């Protein structure tokens, strides 16, 4: 098992400079990470930096709160794909989910998936804010809407990935969607444990440390 091939090497900081994004992409190429994950404004730069490499490019949308209008998220997703993103990591509308506006939540995910076509869509649940029942519902809605992945966290909430959440998510999605664990994964042992639990992708800013 190649750990590097499971890693989305990530820098989503507000303070990330052009040099930081270039460094992120260089590290991803050197270490053989699966993808880099960046904010929308950095997609063009990252695309250029990753030229002639196998590293995929993921962009976050509706980040980190998920509370933008659906139209805004759809536009953002299309824009990122237009600029070279291979994958979209969207934040679910947490307030709608908690208001039991399930149709609206599902329709939004579906609209974004439709907008990006055959590109990979990961739905960030931000599990730290949800009850177990809400996590289950979010997973079901994501699968029904055609998402390729469900993802634990943004890394900007009050908590990150947990083994318990991944077990719950795996139970709901089965083989109908993949799972990405992110938020607070800083050592190799933890990363390997997540993979053992059925995670296909690890989102982390500590990629090079994980491989040591």
Q: Does residue 185 have a pLDDT over 80?
A: yes
Q: What is the pLDDT of residue 141?
A: 98
Q: Does residue 212 have a pLDDT over 90?
A: no
> Picking from 1-5, 8-12, 29-33, which range would have the lowest pLDDT averaged per residue?
1-5
Q: Does residue 111 have a pLDDT over 90?
A: yes
Q: What is the pLDDT of residue 172?
A: 98
Q: Under DSSP, is residue 192 helix (H, G, I), strand (E, B) or coil?
A: helix
Residue % of the chain over a pLDDT of 90: 99
Q: Does residue 77 have a pLDDT over 80?
A: yes
Q: What is the pTM of this model?
A: 0.98
Q: In this predicted model, what pLDDT tens digit does every residue of 83-106 receive, in sequence order?
A: 999 999 999 999 999 999 999 999
Give the pLDDT mean for 138-165: 98
Task: Label each residue of 34-94 as H, E or C.
Answer: CEEEECHHHHHHHHHHCCCCCCEEEEEECCCCCCCCHHHHHHHHHHHHHCCCCEEEEECCH
Query: Does 151 participate in catalysis according to the annotation?
Result: yes
Q: What is the pLDDT of residue 40?
A: 98
Cβ pair 169, 192 in contact under 8 A: no
Give the pLDDT mean for 105-111: 98
Give the pLDDT mean for 139-162: 98
Query: Does 180 participate in catalysis according to the annotation?
Result: yes
Query: Does 89 participate in catalysis according to the annotation?
Result: yes
Average pLDDT of the residues of the chain? 97
Q: What are phi and psi of 20, to 5 degrees?
A: -65, -40
Question: 146 pLDDT band (50/70/90 cuts)?
Answer: very high
Give the pLDDT mean for 20-35: 98
Cβ pair 180, 200 in contact under 8 A: yes
Q: What is the pLDDT of residue 107?
A: 98
Question: 116 pLDDT band (50/70/90 cuts)?
Answer: very high
Q: Does residue 1 have a pLDDT over 80?
A: no
Domains of the chain: 56-211 (3.20.20.70)
Q: What is the DSSP string of 8-33?
A: EEEE--TT--HHHHHHHHHHHHHHT-
Q: In this predicted model, what pLDDT tens digit does every residue of 171-184 receive, in sequence order?
A: 999 999 999 999 99
Catalytic pick among 73, 135, 151, 178: 151
Catalytic pick among 8, 86, 89, 165: 89
């Amino acid at each position: 098992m190649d750990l590097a091939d499971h890693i989305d090497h990530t820098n989503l900081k507000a303070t990330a400079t052009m040099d930081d994004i270039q460094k992120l992409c260089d590290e991803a190429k050197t270490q053989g990470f699966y993808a880099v994950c960046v904010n929308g404004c950095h997609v063009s730069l990252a695309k250029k930096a990753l030229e002639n490499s196998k590293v995929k490019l993921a962009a976050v949308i509706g980040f980190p709160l998920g509370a933008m209008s659906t139209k805004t998220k759809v536009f953002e997703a299309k824009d990122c794909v237009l600029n070279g993103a291979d994958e979209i990591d969207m934040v679910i509308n947490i307030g709608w989910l908690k208001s039991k506006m399930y149709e609206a939540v599902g329709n939004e995910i579906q609209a974004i998936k439709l907008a990006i076509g055959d590109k990979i869509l990961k739905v960030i649940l931000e599990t730290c804010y949800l009850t177990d029942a809400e996590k289950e519902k979010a997973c079901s809605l994501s699968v029904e809407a055609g998402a390729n992945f469900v993802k634990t966290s943004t890394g900007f909430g009050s908590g990150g990935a947990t083994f318990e959440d991944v077990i719950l998510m795996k139970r709901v999605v089965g083989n109908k969607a993949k799972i990405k664990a992110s938020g607070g994964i800083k050592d190799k042992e933890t990363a390997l444990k997540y993979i053992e639990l059925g995670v296909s992708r690890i989102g982390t800013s500590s990629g090079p440390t994980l491989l040591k």
